[in-house]
């Protein structure tokens, strides 16, 4: 036993998962997963278990750099300190229309949406948007927000991307089994959406006039001929000045409850 050499790469799974559980900083966990393919697979398993069991994961905060437009600083809200500085390679953009599970979302002049994971230097290019998104305004604001149902690294064939697009706040979604985006039909009372969120397997969307809807993308068939999901109204749109919010955000609490945060502008 005295001459035996420890095989650090293939330590028992339970031992490595216990070590990961003791690491508080997200960047240190990422570095753990970069040691070897085996450690990387355990790191992904650990994240999957953590997300399923915990609703109290605190995300990192990304802040632009004052000196260079291609650099961003990442801050840990948990540790209240800077944990990393990342630089984006070309082509890069000055606006990100979404960030979920460590993936940043950008859109280019041709309406190609790209998911980028800078920790792992990975990119996923999604299908091009069609002319339904081509209304007035700068191209970076044609796609207003993008959310993911799951981490594409852990569920490469089973994640869903939902977007708010155009100045009219319309909805569309995409899954890896599809060739194109599926655009959801809306009426006058089901538009001008500002925020979207996955909650307990369903998608919730809220608009300027506090109108709140939900829909289920899980029941949609894989073929292109399938009909878009139906929007179900929870709170109808009431066009009154007192009901109007300049911005509305949907958030989940650490206890798993769903809340809306409203921003109002005051005029003299």
Query: Which pLDDT score is estimated for 106?
Result: 84
The pLDDT score that the predictor gives to residue 1 is 44
CA atoms lying within 13 Å on the CB side of residue 88: 25
- Which segments in the chain show pLDDT lower than 70? 1-7, 50-59, 67-69, 76-84, 86-94, 131-140, 188-190, 219-226, 254, 267-268
The per-residue pLDDT for 259 is 92
- Can you give the pTM of this predicted structure? 0.73
**Distance between CA atoms of residues 222 and 148, nearest Å:** 18
Predicted confidence at residue 228, as pLDDT, reads 82
Residue 92: predicted pLDDT:
57
């Amino acid at each position: 036993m005295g001459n035996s050499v420890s095989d650090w790469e293939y330590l028992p799974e339970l031992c490595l998962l216990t070590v990961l559980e003791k690491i508080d900083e997200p960047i240190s966990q990422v570095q753990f997963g970069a040691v070897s393919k085996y450690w990387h697979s355990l790191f992904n398993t650990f994240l999957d278990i953590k997300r399923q069991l915990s609703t109290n994961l605190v995300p990192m905060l990304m802040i632009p750099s004052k000196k260079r437009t291609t650099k961003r600083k990442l801050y840990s809200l948990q540790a209240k300190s800077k944990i990393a500085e990342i630089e984006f390679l070309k082509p890069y953009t000055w606006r990100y229309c979404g960030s979920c599970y460590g993936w940043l979302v950008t859109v280019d002049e041709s309406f190609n949406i790209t998911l980028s994971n800078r920790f792992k230097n990975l990119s996923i290019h999604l299908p091009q948007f069609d002319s339904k998104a081509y209304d007035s305004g700068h191209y970076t604001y044609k796609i207003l927000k993008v959310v993911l149902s799951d981490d594409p690294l852990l569920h490469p064939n089973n994640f869903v991307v939902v977007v708010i697009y155009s100045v009219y706040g319309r909805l569309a979604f995409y899954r890896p089994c599809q060739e194109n985006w599926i655009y959801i039909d809306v009426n006058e009372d089901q538009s001008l959406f500002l925020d979207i969120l996955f909650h307990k397997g369903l998608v919730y969307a809220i608009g300027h006039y506090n109108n709140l809807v939900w829909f289920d993308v899980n029941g949609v068939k894989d073929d292109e001929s399938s009909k878009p999901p139906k929007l179900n109204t929870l709170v109808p749109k009431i066009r009154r000045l007192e009901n109007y919010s300049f911005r509305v955000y949907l958030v989940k609490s650490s206890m798993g409850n769903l809340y809306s945060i409203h921003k109002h502008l005051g005029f003299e």
